[in-house]
Structure 1
Amino acid sequence: MQGADKGTAGELAGEGLRIGIVRARFNDAITNKLAETCIAELLTLGVVARDVVHLTVPGALEIPVVLKALAEDGDYDALIALGCIIRGETYHFELVANESGAGVTRVSLDHRLPIANAILTVEDEAQAWARAEEKGRDAARVAVEMANLLEDLP
């Protein structure tokens, strides 16, 4: 490709974008913090509050099915997955982390729709709290940047 790089100018401009957020309620205080910082960053980037749809589901395994429903709606420029999976004493952590991640990726690829995956997978609650604000902001920035990039592609 010759000339200017596509997707660099205005990549974090959220004006005119419609963003869907699916947040797991499991580890609610942490995922609430993820959502607060994510939504605040979307607004800072120029996304209008009425163009942000925030839905909640019981846990991380339920996130992909709601993402799929939103993707099939066709009315979104990008989606965001918010959750928190904290390692326990059993294999359940790996199952939930792997399957929720695979589901998010599958929806994104099947629908050619950017999905910022901010489902935290951590060893303990302290790690989750240490990451919640930053990852919430990062998710907003990724969603806006990728929505703009895909819009610019031929």
Structure 2
Amino acid sequence: MATSLKSLSAHSSKNVTDMGSKTFGIIVSEWNEEVTEALYSGALQTLLENGAKKDNIIRKNVPGSFELTLAAQWLAQEESIDAVICLGCVIQGETKHFDFICDAVAHGITNVSLKYNKPVIFGVLTPNTQQQALDRAGGKHGNKGDEAAITAVKMLGF
């Protein structure tokens, strides 16, 4: 469903179980910081609302979205981490850089999830403009950070 037709922060409570014993790694890209900090705030709040303990939420920063993949692998290989949430924002520019980065990050995150057999969640915005990013980071379309966190919660309840 197109984001314009659904709030990213709206979700059902199906497959939501107690997360009090689970440990989450959240990786936040420093590039487009205004957006990624809003994504982090949404993810953190959603995890806490679903029973995660603040002490069981580990935050790591990386320079940009491309680096999310390796950082996700480093966290996913830790047995104590139950799920990893990757938060970033790549805004369309005038070159093909956008396409290469988005493709690499999506494939990399998927591969890490499969390699370690645990949820590694793609919480990366890929908008055309800064305004579209803000609209999806706590703006009129909700917060992709909320969506990424509830996805992790639901996958752990699978």
Task: Quote the residue 1:99 is aligned against.
Answer: 104
C-alpha distance in 1 between matches for 2:36 and 2:89: 6
TM-score (norm 1): 0.88
Q: Which among 107, 122, 129 is matched to residue 127 of structure 2? A: 122
Aligned positions of 1:59-78 closer than 5 A = 59-78=64-83
**Where do 5+ consecutive residues of structure 2 fail to align?**
1-12
Kindly state the Cα deviation for residue 115 of structure 1 after the two structures are TM-superposed: 1.4
**1:139 counterpart (126, 141, 148):** 148
Q: Report deviation, 1:15.
A: 1.7
The answer on whether the counterparts of 1:12 and 1:141 sit within 8 Å (CA) in structure 2 is no
1:42 maps onto 2:47 in alignment: yes
Q: Which structure: larger Rg? A: 1
Q: Which runs of structure 1 show a deviation greater than 4 angstroms over 4 or more consecutive aligned residues?
A: none
Inter-partner Cα distance in structure 1 for 2:129 and 2:18: 35
TM-superposed deviation, 1:42:
0.5
The residue aligned with 1:80 is 85
* Greater share of helix: 1
Q: CA deviation at 1:11?
A: 2.0
Contact 2:14 2:154 (C-alpha < 8 Å) held by counterparts: no
In 2, the alpha carbon distance for the partners of 1:10 and 1:118 equals 19
CA contact (8 A) 1:82 1:118 kept: yes
Q: Could you say what the CA RMSD is over the residues aligned between the two structures, in angstroms?
A: 1.3
Q: TM-score, normalised by structure 2?
A: 0.86
**What does the per-residue CA deviation read over 1:9-66, in whole Å, with 9 as the maximum and x for residues that have no partner?**
7524322110000110000010000001110111011100000001000001100101
Give the drift of 1:145. 0.9
Cα drift, residue 73 of structure 1:
1.3
Q: Is the 8 A contact 1:14 1:47 kept in 2?
A: yes
